[in-house]
Amino acid sequence: MNNFTFYSPTEFVFGKDTEKNVGELCQQYGASRIMIVYGGGSVVRSGLLDRIKKSLDEAKLVYCELSGVQPNPVDTKVYEGLELAREFKPDFMLPVGGGSVIDTAKTIAAGFYYEGDFWDFYCGKAKPVNALPIGVVLTIPAAGSEGSGNAVITNTKSHVKNGLRMPKLLRPKFAIMNPELTMTLPAWQTASGITDMMAHILERYLSNTPDVQIGDRLAEGMLLAIMEEAEKVMRNPQDYEARANIMWSGTIAHNDTCSLGRQEDWNSHAMEHEISAEYNVTHGAGLAVIFPAFLTYASKHNPAKVAQLAYRVLGVTESGDIAADALEGAKRLKAWLHDVLGMPVSFAQLGVDNPDLELLNTRLHRLKGDVMQGYMPLDAEATMEIYKLCL
């Protein structure tokens, strides 16, 4: 086990009607001028935005609104938000939505104190030293951004989708999580979110660091719970209990609960980011295509951890041939994603009939270097093999 720091200071307020506390929580964390950030559509239609404004009004808090954040959030919305923020001068950011909305708010929070172009943070040219505090009302369990210090933004000019990690600055002060708010999510979005959280766990789980039993067992426990509850929620979207289990799982999948002193991977995420940046597909759906391919490749080149996953989570019985068992695990996960979640597991199913694999692969290695280190070293030939396994 490697040395590590675990720091998850967010106050998670979880359960029915918890959004009613938003005004009080904002006050507790020192807010007086709040910038609400949201996508549009369901947050407005459902009356959630009105309930939130009512709670802020009751707490005598002033607010402005930034709406229209899209999935795979882009730099242009951040620039728009920064302009609004410099005018309104908020002292607190309040994203209401899922990962795209939260990541947009986080980036505005950090960019607010920076005189240069915020993209400097995302291309490694500068590091944020200060950020506005953030509180979250979560409506989509998926990205885990409500409990993480990370954000991901796509540059609309260069098509680069990149991430920023600043745990001490960007972890939200509080996150309000009412599973009822997720009960009207369409099946597609529910399933994409579940895929995303499972990928967050697997990116941490696929590691060569030895002797991380406690992290492994927690990761396996999360995956078992998610798969069990996902089957329920896909059958009955109104199942509050299953929604609640899924919602909390999405948070701890990404707040480092199962990271714990190991080298993580994240190469599948990097490979998917190229797909969603180019073809604007749902991130979770892209992961459903990439992950089984990645595991298939891994079962040939480094089967140990994939086999452990197969035995402990996917019900594979040890045959004595670890590579074959790992491959069987990869197959079962792929079948589960397709059959239970209804996810695409190939480019064609994703709606990308003629993917430009050369383009994706070239951009990937331009961003990540010739050889991506991780659970397996991946050069351009290796990642091309994985992309081809997605056909």
- Sites of contact with its own copies (CB under 8 A): 1-16, 18, 210-214, 216-222, 224-226, 228-229, 241-242, 244-245, 248-249, 252, 257, 260-261
Shortest distance, position 173 Cβ to its own copies, whole Å: 10
Contact call for residues 27 and 82 (beta carbons, < 8 A): no
Shortest distance, position 311 Cβ to its own copies, whole Å: 13
Nearest-angstrom CA–CA distance, 281 and 196: 13
Nearest-angstrom CA–CA distance, 382 and 215: 28
Q: Which amino acid is at 110?
A: A
Give the residue with the Cβ less far from its own copies, 131 or 218: 218
Contact call for residues 378 and 334 (beta carbons, < 8 A): no
Contact call for residues 375 and 203 (beta carbons, < 8 A): no
Shortest distance, position 198 Cβ to its own copies, whole Å: 13
Shortest distance, position 201 Cβ to its own copies, whole Å: 12
Give the residue with the Cβ less far from its own copies, 28 or 155: 28
Shortest distance, position 126 Cβ to its own copies, whole Å: 23
- Burial state string for 71-98 with b = 16 or more CB within 10 A and e = fewer than 16: bbbbbebbebbbebbeeeebebbbbbbb
Nearest-angstrom CA–CA distance, 255 and 17: 24
Give the residue with the Cβ less far from its own copies, 224 or 371: 224
Give the residue with the Cβ less far from its own copies, 301 or 312: 312
Shortest distance, position 240 Cβ to its own copies, whole Å: 8
Nearest-angstrom CA–CA distance, 227 and 222: 9
Shortest distance, position 8 Cβ to its own copies, whole Å: 6
What lies within 8 Å, CB to CB, of 135 at 6+ separation is 22, 25, 26, 29, 31, 92, 93, 94, 172, 173, 174, 175, 176
> What is the three-class DSSP state of 162?
strand
Shortest distance, position 312 Cβ to its own copies, whole Å: 9
Nearest-angstrom CA–CA distance, 339 and 275: 23
Give the residue with the Cβ less far from its own copies, 314 or 390: 314
Nearest-angstrom CA–CA distance, 1 and 212: 6
Give the residue with the Cβ less far from its own copies, 229 or 274: 229
Write out the H or E segment, with its range, that includes residue 34: strand 33-38
Give the residue with the Cβ less far from its own copies, 228 or 318: 228
Shortest distance, position 333 Cβ to its own copies, whole Å: 17
Give the residue with the Cβ less far from its own copies, 80 or 180: 180
DSSP label at 262? S
Give the residue with the Cβ less far from its own copies, 224 or 335: 224
Nearest-angstrom CA–CA distance, 33 and 87: 12
